[in-house]
């Protein structure tokens, strides 16, 4: 009898089914084991329940394309009969199973625990809960089921070959307790320490000095975006700080004890906890086998060559190299990169399940380094040769040439990247202080992107450098013995012998094409993909399905601001000999106004509009029409005005929200269904300099939009908002379709990160480019006496 016959009709309980290995396991079991059934433990999501997650994250994955093709119209019916999702979480005692879930587990013959926090930089406490305690929690649930009269299920715990730590030479397939080089760490003390550290860091993050730092950083990133948005960002920064400290603590603890990272460290302790609690000498013995893969990568053949889910360890490094970001990466050219295709790991696990539990815990390595080694230098050459023939292209459509790697040490690479990150951080901070717009703001945003990429490269060097420099070899004697005992048909259908891998073919014809396809990188000199994305976003914005289009005014529809309008109106009737002093006063005040505007837009407007005190209302109203025709209209963005009209033709309601004065925006009212703006109070025909009504600023705009849409029975989710500044972030966040127009540096960076539509609109040719526009000199009418805007 073969594997399929041995396992036919069996029930499998699988954890980690929504992950890379788990998805491949479920698909292979359903496709190759007749009448088998799978129960998948799935954590309910915030937006999707367990059935929805099973459908979206498992069955809709392209891993199931082959099975769908084989079953055709029977796919949905057969899968519904054979695959069941149960709610649970390996980070909870009892796996968080309800009564129905416990019953499903009790009816299973094989339990495959593949759930893990596979990130090498996971927070220590999270890695402890999932990787260290997870296997024991699964075993405890199996033991409880057996004690209650259920079947004595065989537990297969998926670990990692790197539990051996910074081991040099060959490592045998044996328990860590049998390895004289493995440290006997008190795993329970590590659990208590990690939990205590989380509590201590949560307390420390709330100390006043840290809270002030988070608030300052939030304001530096988002400017005067509003109290609640800044508070939310500061809280996110606090949470990120706690997470970062836990990541650093995990890395430091792991390296101090000889492991490359917290992942391998907690996996090793997870094995020890499993043996201590549920081995033959434990309180609740369970028959289990440990399977230790090395670095799992894309499929060699099953379900199709190159299938991969998400990005594993090597893919980010490969694409960073191909993009020219990584000029060097640490590694020993003679060292072995122990990679194993995912389908070989899946086949080995299924074969172990068919073999059944042995007398006492058994360990199987699924690794290539001894049987079929791939040298790091060979891997780099294969990658470079492939991208030399098929280069990626930069933003200008030019092919990216790749350097020859010199295989430096980790320290040198990390120092170079750290220096680059620091230099870009200084430059990015300096650019934030300058009120850049349009192309200059794009440069600032691109600099931030480059900084992010450099930081990512530094992270790769710090996280993965140890794996490129490892000299460990993982023996697979037990695995090969299992393989040799298979009949020829099983060796073909469930092959897990690493000797079958032709590395040149696998890297060049299987893995790299899949990496490039999923990386969504630019592979031709044509138009960049981002342009296509902007076109799609613009089509969505201009869909007839939208309800409302909201526009800011200054630097969104017109290249002007309240200071420009004031300068023009104040100088309209000013004698020539007073203009020099007037301009000097405005220029001297500009830094103070800019600083105030950055802190609080509302405070700036209230302060600045004091300058209108004593100005005659009727005269300003008349002059405002001349201001519009002589100054504002020539500085309008024709594409912006056309966009307003386009929305109106589509039947969308249009709304202008601006901090400009009502007398200034009066000529624009026919363009919009409604206008919300500022107005000054009056006394005896003169402005008092005090605001009668201040247009909503920052978060108040979002609240005002919410009321407006309710009043007019519109949907915010189907609304569009156009703005130019990070101070409008609340309004942009409130709608379903935000558009950044000629954005300042902060908003440009935010828009790029969030994938928003960005429009770069230019004003019509002509018009003044003067720093301060002055109104044409006209004699003052006798009716206005000595009034006028205060200089």
Instruction: Give the mean pLDDT of 746-766.
Output: 85
Instruction: Give the mean pLDDT of 524-541.
Output: 74
pLDDT at 233 over 50: yes
Task: List, for residues 436-486, the tens digit of each pLDDT value.
Answer: 555 555 666 566 666 666 666 666 666 566 676 677 889 999 999 999 999
The residue with greater pLDDT, 535 or 329, is: 535
Nearest to 464 by CA among 163, 310, 308, 251: 251
pLDDT category, 766, cuts 50, 70, 90? low
Mark residue 96 as left, alpha or beta (left: phi above 0; alpha: psi -120 to 50; beta: remaining).
left
pLDDT at 449: 63
pLDDT category, 228, cuts 50, 70, 90? confident
Q: Of 94-98, 112-116, 562-566, which gets the smallest average pLDDT?
A: 562-566
pLDDT at 781: 33
pLDDT at 545 over 80: yes
Is 349 within 8 Å of 459 (Cβ atoms)? Answer: no
pLDDT at 341 over 70: yes
The residue with greater pLDDT, 377 or 245, is: 245
pLDDT at 720 over 70: yes
| CB count in 10 Å sphere of residue 669 | 13
Q: What percent of the chain is modeled with pLDDT above 90?
A: 56
pLDDT category, 783, cuts 50, 70, 90? very low
pLDDT at 787 over 50: no
pLDDT at 663: 92
Instruction: Give the mean pLDDT of 27-47.
Output: 93
pLDDT at 708: 94
pLDDT category, 782, cuts 50, 70, 90? very low
pLDDT at 114 over 70: yes
pLDDT category, 779, cuts 50, 70, 90? very low
pLDDT at 127: 94
pLDDT at 353: 96
| CB count in 10 Å sphere of residue 575 | 10
pLDDT category, 415, cuts 50, 70, 90? low
pLDDT at 784: 36
pLDDT at 244 over 70: yes
Strands 674-683 and 686-693: antiparallel
Distance separating alpha carbons of residues 457 and 451, to the nearest angstrom: 10
pLDDT at 452: 67
Instruction: Give the mean pLDDT of 718-742.
Output: 93
Nearest to 452 by CA among 262, 311, 330, 323: 323
pLDDT at 334: 79
Q: Of 78-82, 134-138, 168-172, 285-289, which gets the smallest average pLDDT?
A: 168-172
pLDDT at 422: 67
The residue with greater pLDDT, 784 or 25, is: 25
pLDDT at 780: 44
Tokens of 662: 């009502």
pLDDT at 538 over 90: yes
Task: List, for residues 344-396, the tens digit of each pLDDT value.
Answer: 999 999 999 999 998 889 999 999 999 999 988 898 899 989 999 999 888 77
pLDDT, mean over the chain = 86
Instruction: Give the mean pLDDT of 535-554.
Output: 94
My answer on whether omega of the bond before 575 falls inside 30° of 0, hence cis, is no
Distance separating alpha carbons of residues 32 and 249, to the nearest angstrom: 44
Instruction: Give the mean pLDDT of 699-709.
Output: 90
Instruction: Give the mean pLDDT of 231-258.
Output: 93
DSSP symbols for 24-93: HHHHHHHHHSTT-EEEEEEPPPSS--HHHHIIIIIITSGGGHHHHHHHGGGHHHHHHHHEEEEE--TTSG
pLDDT at 764: 77
Distance separating alpha carbons of residues 788 and 775, to the nearest angstrom: 13
Distance separating alpha carbons of residues 146 and 749, to the nearest angstrom: 56
C-alpha 173, offset from chain centre = 38
Distances (CA, A) of 659 to 563, 679, 697: 12, 9, 8
| CB count in 10 Å sphere of residue 74 | 10
Is 702 within 8 Å of 711 (Cβ atoms)? Answer: no
pLDDT at 790: 43
Tokens of 242: 């706690």
């Amino acid at each position: 009898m073969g594997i399929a016959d041995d396992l036919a009709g069996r029930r499998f309980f699988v954890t980690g089914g929504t992950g890379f290995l788990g998805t491949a396991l479920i698909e292979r079991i359903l496709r190759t084991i007749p009448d088998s059934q799978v129960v998948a433990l799935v954590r309910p999501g915030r937006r999707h329940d367990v059935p929805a997650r099973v459908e979206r994250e498992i069955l809709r994955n392209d891993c199931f394309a082959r099975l769908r093709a084989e079953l055709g119209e029977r796919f949905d019916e057969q899968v519904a009969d054979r695959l069941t999702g149960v709610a649970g979480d390996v980070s909870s005692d009892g796996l968080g199973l309800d009564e129905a879930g416990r019953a499903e587990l009790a009816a299973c013959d094989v339990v495959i625990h593949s759930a893990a926090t596979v990130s090498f930089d996971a927070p220590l406490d999270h890695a402890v809960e999932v990787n260290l305690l997870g296997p024991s929690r699964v075993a405890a649930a199996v033991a409880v089921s057996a004690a209650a009269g259920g079947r004595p299920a065989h537990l297969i715990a998926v670990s990692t070959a790197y539990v051996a730590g910074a081991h040099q030479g060959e490592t045998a397939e044996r328990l860590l307790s049998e390895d004289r080089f493995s440290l006997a760490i008190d795993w329970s003390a590590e659990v208590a320490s990690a939990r205590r550290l989380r509590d201590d860091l949560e307390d420390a993050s709330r100390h006043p000095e840290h809270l002030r730092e988070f608030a300052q950083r939030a304001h530096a990133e988002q400017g005067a975006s509003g109290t609640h948005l800044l508070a939310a960002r500061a809280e996110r920064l606090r949470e990120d700080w706690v997470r970062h400290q836990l990541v650093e603590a995990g890395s430091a603890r792991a390296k101090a004890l000889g492991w490359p990272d917290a992942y391998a460290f907690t996996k090793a302790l997870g094995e020890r906890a499993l043996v201590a609690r549920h081995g033959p000498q434990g309180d609740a013995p369970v028959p289990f086998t440990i399977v230790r893969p090395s670095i799992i990568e894309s499929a060699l053949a099953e379900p199709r060559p190159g299938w991969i889910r998400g990005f594993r360890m090597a893919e980010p490094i490969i694409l960073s190299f191909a993009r020219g970001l990584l000029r060097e990466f640490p590694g020993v050219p003679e060292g072995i990169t122990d990679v194993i295709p995912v389908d070989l790991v899946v086949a080995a696990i299924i074969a172990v399940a068919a073999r059944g539990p042995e007398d006492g815990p058994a360990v199987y390595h699924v690794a290539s380094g001894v049987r079929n080694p791939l040298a790091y230098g060979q891997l780099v050459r294969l990658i470079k040769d492939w991208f030399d023939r098929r280069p990626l292209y930069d933003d200008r459509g030019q092919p990216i040439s790749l350097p020859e790697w010199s295989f430096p040490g980790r320290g040198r690479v990390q120092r170079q990247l750290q220096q680059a990150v620091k230099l870009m951080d200084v430059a990015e901070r300096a650019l934030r202080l300058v009120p850049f717009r349009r192309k200059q703001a794009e440069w600032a945003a691109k600099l931030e992107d480059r900084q992010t990429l450099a930081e990512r490269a530094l992270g790769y060097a710090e996280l993965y450098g140890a794996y490129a420099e490892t000299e460990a070899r993982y023996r697979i004697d037990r695995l090969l013995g299992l393989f040799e005992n298979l009949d020829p048909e099983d060796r073909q259908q469930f092959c897990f012998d690493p000797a079958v891998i032709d590395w040149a073919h696998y890297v060049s014809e299987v893995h790299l094409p899949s990496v490039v396809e999923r990386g969504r990188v630019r592979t031709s000199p044509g138009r960049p993909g981002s342009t296509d994305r902007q076109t799609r976003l613009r089509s969505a914005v201009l869909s007839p399905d939208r309800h409302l289009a909201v526009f800011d005014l200054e630097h969104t529809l017109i290249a002007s601001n309240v200071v420009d309008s004031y300068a023009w109106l104040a100088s309209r009737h000013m004698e020539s000999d007073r203009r020099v002093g007037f301009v000097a006063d405005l220029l001297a005040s500009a830094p103070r106004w800019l600083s105030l505007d950055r802190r609080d837009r509302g405070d700036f407007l209230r302060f600045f509009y004091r300058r209108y005190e004593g100005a005659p209302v009727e005269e300003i109203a008349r002059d405002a029409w001349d201001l519009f025709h002589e100054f504002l209209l020539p500085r309008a963005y024709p594409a912006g005005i056309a966009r307003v009209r386009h929305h109106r033709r589509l039947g969308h309601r249009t709304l202008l929200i601006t901090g400009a004065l009502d007398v200034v925006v009066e000529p624009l009212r026919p363009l919009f269904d409604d206008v919300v703006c500022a107005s000054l109070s009056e006394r005896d025909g003169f402005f008092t300099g005090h605001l009668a009504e201040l247009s909503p600023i920052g978060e108040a705009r979002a609240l005002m939009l919410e009321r407006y849409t309710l009043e007019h029975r519109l949907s915010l989710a189907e609304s569009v908002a156009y703005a130019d500044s990070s101070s409008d972030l609340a309004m942009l966040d409130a709608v379903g379709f935000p558009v950044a127009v000629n954005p300042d540096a902060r908003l440009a960076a935010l828009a790029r990160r969030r994938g928003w539509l960005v429009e770069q609109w230019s004003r019509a040719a002509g018009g003044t480019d003067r720093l301060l526009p002055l109104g044409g000199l006209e004699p003052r009418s006798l009716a206005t006496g000595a009034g006028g805007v205060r200089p």
